[in-house]
Amino acid sequence: MQILKFKPIYKERIWGGRELEKFGKKLPKEKSIGESWELSGVDGDVSVVSNGTLKGNNLSELVEVYMGDLVGEKNFEKFGEEFPLLIKLIDAQDYLSIQVHPDDALAAERHNSYGKTEMWYVVDCQEGASLYVGFNQKVDKAKYLEFLERGELEKLLRSYPVKKGDTFFIPAGAIHAIGKGILIAEIQQTSDITYRVYDFNRKDPNGNSRELHTEQALDAIDYSVRNDYNVTALAARNEVVRLVSCPYFETNTLEVDGAMIRDFAALDSFVIYVCIEGEVHLATTDSAETLKKGETALVPADVDEVAITGSGLLLESYIP
């Protein structure tokens, strides 16, 4: 199968902006775009191929036709025609809400869906930018509700100042919020379930507050104190550097300078590349594509080897 590229799906958000234009995105005029869904199998927002002989087909159609050749035999057996990962670029020009996502068990019980474990890679940020992940002290439901009702929930959260290249692993259940002035690449399970618990008392353009999910979030939150959310690892020239390894996905950085060969003969999964910097050329026995800053490509599972040339920084993700 050929290497696949897709049309971005843009999402207007109250906290969004126009920074994705610097990432090569042609945004709708006069709209605050907070997210570019680079690769999605979410119902109602399924990605459409933008290149090659399969141009115009959507991702769900391709999984139905090509099955394990596209996603891997074990992935097709487990997920069927649902593509298991969602890839986003996020432009946070204001704080996102403080929120949490349910795990697989709770999501299945309540929504007949998968949960949402995710990771963030900081593509760029303003000086002094920060984000929140987890609690900074011992918390139970009563204490959490007390601070929430006072409008002081952020006082309980661990704040992380960030810089380009910082990486965070956000398991389902971890309370979190992206701060303003941050551009993030997000790799996550295919799920669009979010429990919003605090939105900084802001209003939408019509003067309305956004819906909160206080009750739903209570049983979804992990109240423990953890210090393992920051998983930053420095990229290395022409080396594969592991950032995240979990049951849902593995993600590496590849700092390409010249040429690299990736051997996937033993991997029963598709591979996703997101170009963070520079420009590279991806080549297989069946196809070749150039990947520029801000672009995403899907390498089908039936590909055994990818030759990567050029100069650039890639995020590489697959299901182990």
- CATH 2.60.120.10 boundaries in the chain: 4-218, 240-318
Name the class of domain 240-318: mainly beta
pLDDT 10s digits, 254-265 = 999 999 999 999
Position 94 scores a pLDDT of 95
Max Cα–Cα distance, the chain, nearest Å: 60
Q: What is the distance between the alpha carbons of residues 113 and 107, in angstroms, rounded to a whole number?
A: 5
Q: The tokens of 208 are what?
A: 């309305």
Residues of the chain with confidence (pLDDT) below 50:
none
202 is catalytic: no
Position 208 scores a pLDDT of 86
Position 204 scores a pLDDT of 79
Q: What is the distance between the alpha carbons of residues 4 and 151, in angstroms, rounded to a whole number?
A: 46
Position 277 scores a pLDDT of 97
Reported for 42-50, long-range contacts at CB under 8 A and 24+ positions apart, including other chains, are: 42/86, 42/190, 42/191, 42/192, 45/9, 45/192, 47/6, 47/7, 47/9, 48/6, 48/7, 49/4, 49/5, 49/6, 49/7, 50/5, 50/6, 50/7
Burial category of 137 from C-beta neighbours within 10 Å (exposed 0-12, middle 13-18, buried 19 and up): exposed
Position 310 scores a pLDDT of 98
Position 209 scores a pLDDT of 87
Q: The tokens of 219 are what?
A: 């049983």
Residue 90: strand pairing partners: 35, 184
Annotated binding-site residue? 186: no
Position 216 scores a pLDDT of 96
Q: What is the distance between the alpha carbons of residues 215 and 219, in angstroms, rounded to a whole number?
A: 8
According to CATH, the superfamily of the domain at 4-218 is: Jelly Rolls (2.60.120.10)
Determine which one of 13, 158, 196, 262 is catalytic: 196
Position 114 scores a pLDDT of 95
Position 69 scores a pLDDT of 98
Annotated binding-site residue? 176: yes
Position 205 scores a pLDDT of 79
Burial category of 229 from C-beta neighbours within 10 Å (exposed 0-12, middle 13-18, buried 19 and up): buried
Annotated binding-site residue? 101: yes
Position 202 scores a pLDDT of 87
Position 140 scores a pLDDT of 96
